[in-house]
Amino acid sequence: MEEIEHKETLAPLGVDPRAPEPILHQALKTALDDEYRAYEAYMRVIETFGAKPPFASIIEAEKRHQTALLELFECHGIVPIENRWVGQMDAPKSLQEAYAMGVEAEISNIAMYDTLLSYTQNYPDVQEVFFRLQAASYNNHLPVFQAHLEGVASKAVPNASTPMMENALPSMEKMSEQMSEWSAMAGKLASGQMSQEEMLKLLSGTNFSFIAGALLGAIGAGVVGSMSQKNEEQTEEKE
């Protein structure tokens, strides 16, 4: 795994089923590129303001995310991409802007994995890692950045906000509204108190892979996979 693909071949990253490159290759490169970008953005904050929380701990998590993805590259015999973000990130003007940047980055990361999960359903090992990294962003990184951002905002002038905050807060609010419902679902599933009818009703009209990422730590990949299969079987029967 010594060879590194030249960065000029990377743009634009994403998944295009019409492209000649296998979808798995595209998905892994997209995920690794995003983790590289997050690492460099948070490192730039540390270089500018010092090892302030939560950046000092989250940047270590970003290293682990990169390692987990690089292991998938090796397992599937895919040449990993290089980090094209080194020295390319602008320093935020304040810690408040840095927290807002963190919120937007984690929301974007969660959405990215949601998309990549939909393209990698034939690769259980890849799905497991993607679920795990998505859950880390949703359950750990995003709430911490949100808490710091809200702590700063509460001390500021009422109704004062930056453009980054205005973009990030609606998404945060929507996700917060669903958190309690998903937490209750995880508790019911873990204790065996939720019936199949309740489960399917709750999942109807909802993006399943996103919920799976959020609940993976609580109920396990096996239960999530079983739920997905049952949901698909019922959908096929109705059709």
For 19, other C-beta atoms within 10 Å of its C-beta total 11
Q: Cis link prior to 12 (omega < 30° from 0)?
A: yes
Mutual angle of helices 124-136 and 23-49, in 10-degree steps: 20
- Mean predicted confidence (pLDDT) in 37-42: 96
pLDDT digits (tens, 9 = 90+) for 3-25: 444 333 334 578 999 999 999 99
Give the predicted TM-score (pTM) of the model. Answer: 0.65
CB atoms within 10 A of CB 149: 25
Q: What is the pLDDT of residues 128-138, one digit of tens each?
A: 999 999 999 99
45-54, 55-64, 155-164: lowest mean pLDDT where? 155-164
* CA angle in degrees (0–180, nearest 5) for 129-68-87: 120
For residue 146 the two structure tokens come to 């949100």
pLDDT band at 153 (very low <50, low <70, confident <90, very high): low
Among the residue ranges 73-77, 106-110, 126-130, 218-222, the one predicted with the least confidence is 218-222
With 90 as the cut, is the pLDDT of residue 126 above it? yes
CATH topology of domain 7-176: Ferritin (1.20.1260)
The domain locations on the chain are 7-176
Q: What is the dihedral of CA 145, 151, 156, 157, to 10 degrees?
A: 100
Contact 230, 200 (CB under 8 A): yes
Query: Would you say 130 and 116 are in contact if contact means Cβ atoms under 8 Å apart?
Result: yes
The tokens of 53 are what? 């929380």
- The predicted structure's pLDDT at residue 222: 41
